[in-house]
Amino acid sequence: MYNLLRCRRGSTALPTVIALVPLIGVLALGAEAGSWYVTKEHAQTAADAAAVAGAWRLAWNASDSVSVAQQFAAQNGFCDGCKPVDAPQQVSVVSDSAAGSVQVTVSQQQPPYLARVLLGSSPINIAAQATAMVDKTTAEAPCILATNGSVTFQGSAGVNSQTCGIASNSTASNAITYTGNGSSINAPSYTVGGCSETGGTQCSNNVYTARPQPVTNPLSGLDSAMSSLTTSDFSGPCGSTDAKGKFTPILTAYTPTTPCYNTGSPSGVLNGTYFFNGPVTISGNTTISGTANLILFGGATLSISGNPSIQLTASTNPQVPPTLSSVQSLMTGLLIYDPEAPKNGNFTVNITGDSNSYFSGIVYVPNSPVTYTGNSGATAPSPGCYQIIAYAITFSGNTNLDNRNCVDSAGNPYGMKPVTFVRLLPP
């Protein structure tokens, strides 16, 4: 018994156990604090994604920037009422359309399990904030928009369009394509897809790929109304019939007193709105000038070849039959409308002209690719602006388009959505 009482084995066990209690507590407290850090990182990711998504909606002048931001925050695990009552969350979104900014703050009340026992700590508010802004220094509206296909530059094509840029909604890797290195493009290019090049480094010069949103087609509202337009909406073909019953087409602008459609091709000086049914051919040395709207319907086709001299400015006061009254405002500034769909999968609208040719207005070809060739390149008279909206667009040869007179979004009469960067700012 004496030896047992003097034995020192295990004498340090009790102090060790006593010392381990706070040590384990400190380690556990560190692990709990680490979980707070992880939650903070998740919160920052959610705030960043939400702010960027909301700002992109502002970039398209959409009214749902707040709800979209909230949606992206929820997709990253943060939304009001998503967590149990012991860890409530809050998402605050402030959208300022005038400043072009979206500020998102996300927070979560983290319950202090061990910290409450050891330190008597109250719930920890873990928050993160991000602000995304629309970059106003970039181009405001695309003057050249391919709604489905690619925008392609071949040969020595040139585009001078600093104020409104180029856009392709194609998701393909060659949504913006450069073939050869002779093209001179002084315009920012944006695409949902990618950029492809052969023989140059143009893709690294003002080309912005993988945009999260396609550009809204501002004239898509015309398509259904135009598709319902038939010859029965007119008084008949424009022209006159002689005493022997021979009909002679006469190019005539549509008005309430001359509600007819044309079956020939335009030439000379134009003034007004002209509807065409049938093939429209502009070729050779034809000269066309004036202020007009050229509207094709009912399967009409447009072909421009040779070296015609075309100097046309879109009418801002289009005259239309009652069938189109609901979309008349969309036709303001519309120079050419050609709804023809490709035949056998390979129909392309070809447009060319001599060095004195210019268009001032919108050329809208929603269902077919458009190819620009030749030497057309004269600058439209100020305040002229040439915009192209087509299924796909190819610039070939020595074509040059000068769009420097196009106005920005603040004064843009066509309602095009801006294509912008999003810049993430530190909270």
Q: What is the mean pLDDT of residues 281-303?
A: 88
Compute the distance between CA of residue 271 and CA of residue 288 in angstroms, rounded to an integer.
Answer: 11
- Output the average pLDDT for the chain: 77
Q: State how far the alpha carbon of 85 is from the alpha carbons of 107, 160, 272, in Å.
A: 14, 59, 68
- Mean per-residue pLDDT for 235-261? 92
- Based on DSSP, count helices (H) and strands (E) in the chain, helices before strands: 5, 25
pLDDT attached to residue 410: 44
Say if residues 247 and 239 touch (Cβ distance below 8 Å). yes
Tokens of 383: 């305040």
pLDDT band at 292; cut points 50, 70, 90: very high
Beta strands in 31-121, from DSSP E residues, in sequence order: 89-96, 101-110
pLDDT band at 391 (very low <50, low <70, confident <90, very high): very high
The confidence score (pLDDT) of residue 22 equals 57
Q: What H or E segment, with its residue span, contains residue 131?
A: strand 124-134
**Taking residues 28-42, what's their average pLDDT?**
64
Beta strands in 277-344 (DSSP E): 279-282, 287-296, 301-304, 309-314, 334-337
Cα–Cα nearest to 398, from 377, 379, 378, 380: 377
Q: Which of residues 124 and 329 earns the better pLDDT score?
A: 329
Give residue-wise pLDDT tens across range 131-172: 887 765 444 457 789 999 999 888 777 776 666 678 899 999
Residues ≥6 apart with Cβ < 8 Å to 307: 284, 285, 352, 353, 354, 374, 375
Q: What are phi and psi of 332, to 5 degrees?
A: -65, 120
Q: What is the per-residue pLDDT across 62-82, written as a single tens digit (0 to 9) for each?
A: 678 888 888 888 888 888 767
pLDDT above 60 for 104: yes
* pLDDT (average), residues 223-244: 91
pLDDT over threshold 50, residue 239:
yes
How much is the pLDDT for 351? 78
Mean local confidence (pLDDT), 385-408: 75
Arithmetic mean of pLDDT, 213-226: 85
Q: Kindly list the distances between the CA atom of residue 244 and the CA atoms of 100, 240, 297, 310, in Å, as whole numbers in the listed order.
A: 68, 11, 30, 36
| Tokens of residue 283, six digits | 């070729």
Q: Cis link prior to 321 (omega < 30° from 0)? A: no
Range from 205-214, 226-235, 377-386 carrying the lowest mean pLDDT: 377-386
Count CB neighbours of 250 within 10 A: 14
Q: Contact at 8 Å (CB) between 394 and 371?
A: yes
Give me the mean pLDDT over the 364-383 stretch. 73
At 208, list the tokens: 């912005």
